[in-house]
Amino acid sequence: MSDYNFAYLDEQTKRMIRRAILKGVAIPGYQVPFASREMPMPYGWGTGGVQVTAACLVPEDRLKVIDQGADDTTNAVSIRRFFQKTAGVEVTEATAEATIIQTRHRIPETPLTEGQIFVYQVPIPEPLRFLEPRETETRRMHELEEYGLMHVKLYEDIARHGTIATSYDYPVRVEGRYVMDPSPIPKFDNPKLSGNPALQLFGAGREQRIYALPPYSQVVSLDFEDHPFVASKAEHDCDLCGAADSYLDEVITDDQGNRMFVCSDTDYCRGRRAAGQVGRLGGEAA
């Protein structure tokens, strides 16, 4: 073990966060204020998610951390090491083996299961913030279910671009009540929010908010009858594993205009290639 208190935070802080999480779970989609602490990493690096994860961890947990779907980027690696050091928990890159998954901006392709807790790092938790900067006003709008402004924003997308151009951070309505910001996940992931067997928790450190989606919560992406919500992705297959159904990153490969598309979910892509699936460039890259 380390010389840190279990999972870094002191007990008083964990109790405060735990109470906020429970209220968040009881009021799906409502942002519960909490006294966010300074963490040994800058705001914007997942301090909200880290505090929620720290409050939920038990020694028996196996933790997975992803950053834009990848297990091996700086943010994911450093948070994983942080909890290895301060909580002594096991870590994994396999979605199916993890009991807690902390994520920055993706939901894995492998479906989540009942035993899992899924923790989002949230930069701006208030879906109405860019439309109405005053907290007093947005709070009142949530109170009165006054969400017309959100639809005006989507309508302006249609008026300007002919289609709803919002491609990530796509607003949702939870259980017919609160409009919620699902964090900047691509709208491709929005359908996975609804009816998910895992417990989904959201932590915004700088903005000091925690909110939650209990398992199997009904989550609807906002849209119009004549412009229904579409979970879009790049019109390609993964160039490494050939997956047609996974969310893709576009990678520029040289200065001749060549590019490749690869799964953003590194664990999913690796799993498919290990099972013998090969994409357009899969042979060369391997």
Partner 1 sequence: MISQALGGGFADAPIQSARAFRAALEAMARPGRILTVEGVAPPAPLSIGAGVLLLTLCDRTTPLHLAPGHDAPEIRDWITFHTGAPLVTPGAAAFALGRWEALQPVTRFRIGQPDYPDRSATLIVEMDALTNDGAILTGPGIETTARLSLPELAAFRLNRDIFPLGYDTFFTSGDKIAGLPRSTRVEAG
Q: Which residues are catalytic?
A: 29, 238, 241, 263, 269
Say whether residue 5 binds partner 1 (CB under 8 A): yes
Shortest CB 121 distance to partner 1, Å: 19
Q: Does residue number 11 form part of the binding site for partner 1 (CB under 8 A)?
A: yes
Of 149-157, 208-216, 223-231, 234-242, the segment contacting partner 1 by CB under 8 A is 208-216
Cα distance between residue 221 and residue 211, in whole Å = 17
CA distance 142 to 231: 26
According to the binding rule CB under 8 A, does residue 143 interact with partner 1? yes
Selected binder of partner 1 within 2, 42, 44, 58 (CB under 8 A): 58
Q: CB under 8 A: which stretch of 43-51, 57-65, 76-84, 164-172 binds partner 1?
A: 57-65
Residue 119 sits in the site that holds partner 1 (CB under 8 A): no
Q: Which is nearer to partner 1, 23 or 153 (CB)?
A: 23
Query: CA–CA separation, 221 vs 166, rounded Å?
Result: 11
The verdict on 216 binding partner 1 (CB under 8 A) reads yes
Least distance to partner 1, CB of residue 110, Å: 19
Q: Using the rule CB under 8 A, which residue among 62, 77, 215, 220 binds partner 1?
A: 215
Q: Does 12 interact with partner 1 (rule: CB under 8 A)?
A: yes
| Contact status: 111 vs partner 1 (CB under 8 A) | no
Question: Judged by CB under 8 A, which stretch of 24-32, 41-49, 148-156, 183-191 contacts partner 1?
Answer: 24-32
Q: How far is CA 146 from CA 66, 124, 151, 173, 209, in A?
A: 35, 19, 10, 12, 20
Partner residues linked to 211 by β-bridges: 202
Count of Cβ atoms closer than 10 Å to residue 158 Cβ: 14
β-pairing, 117-121 vs 62-67, is unpaired
26 contacts partner 1 (rule: CB under 8 A): yes
Two structure tokens written together for 94? 């396999």
Of positions 82, 83, 170, 178, contacts partner 1 by CB under 8 A? 178
- As a whole number of Å, the end-to-end CA separation of the chain is 38
Which parts of this chain interact with partner 1 (CB under 8 A)? Answer: 5-7, 11-12, 14-16, 18-28, 30, 32-33, 55-59, 117, 139-140, 142-143, 175, 177-178, 197, 199, 212-218
